[in-house]
């Protein structure tokens, strides 16, 4: 874009008393951007108005000097509200498989349990998030086992400012019991968005086989996250919300940890 000033190459500045000065933000209004050099030439005064309308597929909410390109919703997201000259596109996770029927019926649970049993029989270790892939006896998984207790003690460092002690130590089943929090986690973690870790990564850390993960994602009206949590709480009822929070921190999903903070725990003093 050509400017009106030969001395001020920054098009958001204009020549005033021999110096290049910024166009004044008080001139800007939503849907507009500064004209080149605020419409002033070096010698001929004003050539056009200080501001002009945003070009197509650009917007300015009144806080930018130049109109910004409209955001395009990426894979796994859909447009909630389209971009216009005064506001950017608003995207949301695609909810095609998160409709109200995703909560399991007894028949669906039975099918899923069968699939889990089948895949587990092919695996050297059923569940041992971040542990060695060796056979673990029932006794070794008992909370009374000293090695297991040390191995599974969730590291609270860095999480205590997000989760209250009551929530952190609450049984993992609390997440499944709180449907509002569960649904938020499903919407955050189940979609497959490029460069964002999700339920697949959580399940992988818990030694779920790739075939099991693929199977749960193929059941479009089911939540892979809910299936994974049900499996974990069944085999390891001693697990707490803190264990899940640590895994979420390990995959850089602090947004999901913030959702866990919304959990309501009985008898917790607020």
pLDDT at 216: 83
pLDDT at 79: 83
**Phi and psi torsions of 214, nearest 5°:** -60, -40
- The topology under which CATH files domain 158-269 is Death Domain, Fas (1.10.533)
pLDDT at 270: 45
Q: What is the pTM of this model?
A: 0.45
pLDDT at 94: 63
- Encode pLDDT of 239-264 as tens digits: 899 999 999 988 888 899 999 999 98
pLDDT at 124: 36
**Phi and psi torsions of 38, nearest 5°:** 60, 20
pLDDT at 182: 93
CATH superfamily of 13-93: Tumor Necrosis Factor Receptor, subunit A, domain 2 (2.10.50.10)
Q: What are the structural domain ranges in the chain?
A: 13-93, 158-269
What residue ranges of the chain have pLDDT lower than 70? 1, 75-76, 94-161, 267-270
């Amino acid at each position: 874009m050509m400017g009106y000033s030969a001395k001020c190459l920054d098009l958001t500045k204009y020549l005033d008393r021999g110096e290049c000065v910024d166009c004044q933000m008080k001139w800007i209004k939503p849907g507009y951007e500064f004209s080149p050099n605020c419409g002033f030439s070096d010698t001929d005064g004003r050539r056009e108005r200080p501001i002009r309308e945003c070009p197509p597929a650009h917007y300015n909410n009144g806080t930018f000097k130049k109109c910004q390109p409209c955001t395009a919703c990426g894979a796994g997201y859909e447009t909630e509200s389209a971009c216009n000259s005064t506001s950017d596109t608003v995207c949301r996770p695609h909810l095609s498989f998160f409709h109200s029927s995703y909560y399991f019926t007894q028949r669906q649970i039975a099918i899923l349990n069968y699939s889990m049993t089948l895949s587990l029989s092919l695996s050297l270790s059923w569940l041992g998030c971040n542990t060695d892939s060796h056979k673990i006896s029932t006794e070794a998984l008992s909370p009374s086992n000293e090695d297991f207790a040390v191995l599974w003690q969730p590291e609270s460092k860095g999480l205590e400012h997000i989760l209250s002690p009551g929530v952190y130590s609450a049984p993992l089943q609390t997440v499944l019991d709180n449907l509002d929090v569960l649904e938020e986690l499903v919407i955050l973690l189940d979609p497959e968005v490029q460069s964002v870790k999700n339920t697949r990564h959580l399940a992988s850390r818990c030694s779920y086989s790739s075939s099991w993960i693929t199977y749960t994602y193929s059941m479009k009206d089911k939540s892979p996250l809910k299936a994974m949590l049900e499996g974990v709480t069944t085999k390891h009822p001693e697990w707490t919300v803190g264990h899940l929070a640590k895994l979420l921190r390990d995959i850089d999903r602090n947004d999901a940890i913030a959702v866990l903070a919304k959990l309501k725990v009985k008898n917790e003093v607020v």
